[in-house]
Structure 1
């Protein structure tokens, strides 16, 4: 009979929830510690006040899943959160207020992508063929490239309209890092999985309900029914090796998954693995700002639209929440997303929100039934690590019986929900294999 481990999971974001669920499925006893009062990590809903002091429940950012996120979707189903009910599935479409953009139709991804490129009337025939040639070369090379290359360098010979209207928004949306700084190797991996890994892999999956209802709430209920102990609002103070076991705040465990932030994990493991801790501390971060606007009676032609970014235009995307969310309160509410927002935050959140409001008025004048008004601006200052070429990320294994999980841990993906879930599953399975080996 397989050994039953007493396992501690420190951190209740998507990585920690994935690790806890996988450990329960492997037959272990799980205690989960989360320093915040709620689970979900950076994919959560927050209660806040609007600019006119009304009570609001808003997501801390517009998290998107795609059809290729198989482990995230499997985790949701495992805890009873049905993706078909909670997520709105849409074919990938990158349209702009003044451009029809690229639209993928259902079907096998390779011919669907080729048809979409050939049908994109915003680009000339030479521009369309150039994109297809580049994608063919990337595919023939196994979607691998010089690990030191940036996305801008990888795509330097693509026509400018293709770079600006397709590559730049895809890059900043998936890596939260501008193309001239982002890792080409990681970008190609995301491109491969999203566009070429099977029917529906590139579909956008937009949350119909608040983020906290997407996984955190159902996972908490599932874990409790399985006998897991959940400690919310409890920050772990110490982690000490104890004769082949681990003391987590003086409670003994057989194994530990650190699924907290990189800085929290570094604090806890500094006396145990100083090199690992330093690698975690060396990560740089990129913020994301979400500016919520309200305009009763207004709507966009599509649920999500790309925007032209510029010196006076911060946002790269806008979401029509009235078309996405299953809530009357969402009607006439719009979320403008600014990824890689460090430069804008240097000017201040208020200035960023005001610039976004001006951008909305100028970019979408035909779609406002009433002039949009600022509802609230939210920021995640450490939303994701900066996904740069050759980045050294901490390994998942720290010490015997001690694993790290999180979207920052070494892996094929950038800081995404899927990357977090993959790392949580890997950590839990790794501890199980280690003890059974």
Structure 2
């Protein structure tokens, strides 16, 4: 029987472990943290008797690999995820909202109904979408999203209320720096991936219950050897690498800086490439509202006007989503400030834009290296590291940015290459 040792139990490592087990491999899985899930995991801190998460995540309907993985380990995405047609409206009602209709009718109707948009705004988006579709959602590989929008003559309001929040949420990189090629690829899958592809899928449960816990249970039931809270040292890893054979392989499913540490001696060029990758941060500010009569936001997810002093792009109603009444989660993609400063700025921003008075910061979670900086012409490491040693993760070469879908796809695809 083939044996696969996996280092890291984030979403990529879990996806690889399930795929390898399904293919008949004997899997051994190591995770340094006491909980699985990587950057999309539950915290030990609770609110209203339920866990907080290390960040507020959103999936989209086009994330088919992730949804299929959930089903394969016995989960029902329709129960665990709140499905909403794309809704990027602000508290004042402005912004884009797609009706739950088939493509492209929903897009045309959503643009036509967009509140606060002038006719020229709407025409500029429709024309840009048509040009991108005619170009098969491709462009100059050196372009940033800002250059793409400039070439398409998009109006400033469309850029501010649609493109910027989409780019930040999908690529976690500002439009002035983000790869237009990758952005168009995500747009293609969302807009042309079939019915429901552009829908937002917001978790109704903590991130542990969304996938990692079920994966561990499934793997255990199918004979996998799981070691949580056990860090693989360089010496242990080198012994594993030396013991590889046609029937025994090692898969690195840990973050790139950890992969670089482990492979510095056996694959220095590959390790250097991992170590040189640039990352961007994401902050999630959890706020408790105690305003008299507050029963939640008008919608489970709302857009926020953002600038340097008001950095959050979205706010989520955890009361409506996860049964934690009064709890809001504001997300700051491409976060650049320090924790205390960001907490204060988001507190003021949410108070002002949602017209709330009695708020308190419950917790601010900052993932300083949450995702790759998705830059044009980004050179990402290949999955092959050295003889018998492979790697997967949202930083490995592939078509997707650093998303949960990118991680899952990478984990599944590398198993076919190892085999």
Q: TM-score of the superposition, structure 2-length normalised?
A: 0.95
Q: Who is 2:218 aligned against?
A: 222
**Structure 1: unaligned runs, 5 residues or longer:** 433-437
User: How far is the alpha carbon of 1:401 from its aligned partner?
Assistant: 2.4
- Contact 1:288/1:340 (CA < 8 Å) preserved in 2? yes
Are 1:351 and 2:341 counterparts? yes
Change (3 A) 1:413 1:96: same
Is 2:74 the partner of 1:80?
Answer: yes
Equivalent residue for 2:286, pick from 287, 292, 311: 292
> Is 1:415 the counterpart of 2:413 in the alignment?
no
Deviations 1:291-313 (A, max 9, x none): 11111434211110011111321
Match of 2:134 among 140, 156, 165: 140
Which residue matches 2:157? 161
Following superposition, the deviation at residue 244 of structure 1 comes to 7.6
Between the aligned partners of 1:12 and 1:49, the Cα distance in structure 2 is 22
Cα distance between partner residues in 2 of 1:232 and 1:165: 42
Structure 1 counterpart of 2:264:
270
Partner of 1:213: 209
Are 1:125 and 2:112 counterparts? no
Matched, 1:42 2:39: yes
1:305 aligns with 2:270: no
Q: Tell me which of 87, 91, 98 is aligned to 1:93.
A: 87
Deviations 1:372-421 (A, max 9, x none): 11111111111111111111111112223222110011111110000000
> Matched residue of 1:12: which SS?
coil
Q: CA RMSD in A?
A: 1.9
Aligned partner of 1:396 among 372, 377, 383 = 383
Equivalent residue for 1:12?
9
Q: Is the 8 A contact 2:240 2:250 kept in 1?
A: no
Q: Matched residues in 1 for 2:412 and 2:4: separation? A: 14
Instruction: Provide the C-alpha distance between the structure 2 equivalents of 1:386 and 1:355, rounded to a whole number of angstroms.
Output: 23
Figure out how many residues of one structure are paired with residues of the other and give that number: 412
SS for the counterpart of 1:109 is coil
Cα distance in structure 1, aligned partners of 2:72 and 2:107: 32
Alpha-carbon distance, 1:49 to partner: 7.8
Distance 2:242 2:139 in 1: 42
Q: In structure 1, what is the Cα distance between the partners aligned to 2:139 and 2:239?
A: 41
SS in structure 2 of the partner of residue 103 of structure 1 = coil
What does the per-residue CA deviation read over 1:199-243, in whole Å, with 9 as the maximum and x for residues that have no partner? 000111111111011111100000000000001111111333789
> Equivalent residue for 1:376?
363
Report the Cα offset of residue 354 of structure 1: 1.0
- State the match for 1:246 in structure 2: 244
| Whole-Å separation in 2 of the counterparts to 1:121 and 1:304 | 17
Contact residue 106 and residue 199 of structure 1 kept, 8 A: no
Corresponding position of 2:186 = 190
